[in-house]
Amino acid sequence: MASPVQKGQELELQIDSLAYGGNGVARLNGFVVFVRGGLPGDRVRARVTKTKRGFAEATAEAVLEPSPVRVAAPCRHFGVCGGCRFQDLAYEAQLEAKEQQVRDALVRIGRIAEPPLEPIVPASSQYGYRNKLEYSFTQGEAGVELGFHRAGRWDEVVGIEECLLTTDLGNAVRLAVRDWAREEGLEPYDQETGEGYLRHLVYREGRNTGQALVMLVTAPGERFEPGYLVDVLRRFEQVRSINWAVNDTPAERTNVPWKLLWGEDAIEEEILGLRFRLRPNAFMQTNTEMAERLYALAREYAALTGAENVFDLYCGTGTIGLALAGGAKAVWGVEISEESVACAIENAELNGIENASFFAGNVGQSLEELVSEAGRADVVVVDPPRAGLAGKALRRTGELGAEKIVYISCNPTTLASDVQVLRDDFGYELIRCRPVDMFPHTPHVESVSLLERTELL
């Protein structure tokens, strides 16, 4: 369908629902318009920002009639900071939208007429839930600021006085680093020109242990006195690890080699009664409370008897595999990040778990070697990145022929696509799927799915 609207045109639109990704969905004589800032039930005046053959994109410029599920956002930075999209949407409506997005993906992409979807698990805490945040440095009127990208912009950062997604400690540490940078006269890095020095601040907090880790990311060169930064941060008794990393590329990355300035090279977190060591770049779910719910669901879906050989693919720091190890014969984890694998091995030792082994490697390229080492898999647990089981990983996972696959997903569309391939090409049926709200006030939704092999192909 050719676009019946033009870029820059103003439209009056009724928002019907939320699309995956967070934009409101409106229809103009059947033509779909995705509206940033529109909530289900709103009537808005919107300006068209982009037109395509089958749809258009627009930004809400005014709410003419507010939705009954529209609420006042509590954050002073809401609407400017790009961190939280839905603080102005009632939480029950957020849950309903996320559950529906998982259902729609399974129907539309997975081609499952009646998905076996279970009710979404709501977040235990709607605010203060993140155990990791990555801030960017920028120049403000009062000097150096630390914050997040402006909503809808990659090239502009908004300074933050208080973030409601972290703890009081997290906010205090960020402000202390900001004040240190101002005192030292250090310049923020400019993404567009490539000039400047300060790039990012990474803050991690063990929510069940009270331990905190801080990492400063800069451009090349030692332009500050490490000892003074350490003194500033050691005022917080919870800070156990202070680190410095250099990013010498134009890309906005924090996953770069780092150097320990003071303290331990890792902090610990506790999940489901197990202790986990976390270094600056090691992966762990950023909502500790809901990670416990997520992993408990994975354990429930796996329904281990003690006799199973379990493959934990994209194992990260071993959290899921080690949570399952008590009910398994053996757990074998694979992860491309060597730093995460080192943590996983340490975590097994830390918890006295002797039936779990972890290896560094690309999942798609490592499975044949893993089978020769570990034998046949009875249960496969996958927790892939947003792209899902991309490339060889999907087919090689299917070819393992395990009786069960427990699929933890952070993207309903790639989950549905992978489920369709596993069903059509490898004889798996989707038995259960349950969305989990790990990230309130954002468009993101996790889910846990159980697939069982019903055909021998």
Q: Which residues are catalytic?
A: 410
The owner of tokens 């956002």 is: 73
Decide: 315 and 339 in contact? Cβ < 8 Å: no
Decide: 47 and 70 in contact? Cβ < 8 Å: no
DSSP state for residue 121 in the 8-state scheme? B
Counted residue by residue, the chain has a size of: 457
Structure tokens at 367: 């499975």
User: Is the dihedral angle over the CA atoms 414, 420, 426, 432 positive or is it negative?
Assistant: positive
Decide: 109 and 130 in contact? Cβ < 8 Å: no
The type of residue at 348 is A
Euclidean distance between CA atoms 57 and 344, whole angstroms: 43
Output phi, psi for 121, to 5 deg.
-90, 115
Q: Smallest Cα–Cα separation from 114: which of 122, 123, 103?
A: 103
Residues whose CB falls within 8 Å of the CB of residue 417, separated by 6 or more in sequence, listed in order: 109, 110, 388
DSSP annotation string for 176-211: HHHHHHHHHTPPBP-TTT---SEEEEEEEE-TTT--
**In terms of DSSP bridges, do strands 379-382 and 309-313 run parallel, antiparallel, or are they unpaired?**
parallel
The type of residue at 218 is T
